[in-house]
Amino acid sequence: MLLGPLVIYGLVDAATRYIDLSGQKDINNPVVWIIIVGIFTPIAIGLMIFGWYAWKGDYDRIPHSAAELEEDPTRRR
């Protein structure tokens, strides 16, 4: 749960430190950072949600059939 915000903070922090319009490397390129921060933010949010579900014990028992998925009382997010 805590890793998600840390990842976002780390990426934004690195982006602000390394973006350099006169630089030649990929890590100096703002477009690359926009793409990476843009794609990683929802993934980091997914990691937080995963942590939340795990914390609540949602993964203590894994469903083995579609019927079990349908029966899950917490079916709607």
Partner 1 sequence: MYKIINYLSEMGHSSIRRIIAASSVGTMIEWYDFYIFGMLAKTISVEFFPAGNPTAALLSTLAIFAAGFIVRPFGALVFGRLGDKVGRKYTFLLTLVLMGGSTFLIGCVPGYRSIGLLAPVLVLLLRLIQGLALGGEYGGAATYVAEHAPSNKRGYYTSWIQTTATLGLFLALGVILLVRSSMPEANFTPEWGGWRYPFWISLLLVGVSIYIRLNMSESPLFAELKSTGKTSVNPLRESFQHRANFKMVLLALFGAVMGEGVVWYTGQFYAQSFLETKCKLDFEQSRTILLWAIAGATPFFVLFGWLSDRVGRKWILMTGMLLAVLTYRPIFGYFLENSIALNPDATVITLPNEMYWRFVGLVFLLILYVTMVYGPIAAFLVELFPTRIRYTSMSLPYHIGNGVFGGLVPFIGLLLSTSFPGDPLVGLWYPISITALCLVIGVLYLDNKKDETVMD
Query: Which letter, b or e, does each residue of 41-52 get, where b requires 16 or more Cβ atoms within 10 Å of its Cβ?
Result: eeebeebbeeee
Smallest gap from Cβ 61 to partner 1, in A, equals 9
Binding site for partner 1 (CB under 8 A): 3, 14, 18, 25-27, 29, 31-32, 35-36, 38-40, 43, 46-47, 49-50, 53-54, 58-59, 62-67, 69-70, 72, 74-77
CB of 5 to partner 1, least distance (A): 15
Measured CA to CA in angstroms, residue 49 lies from 3, 9, 27 at distances of 11, 17, 29
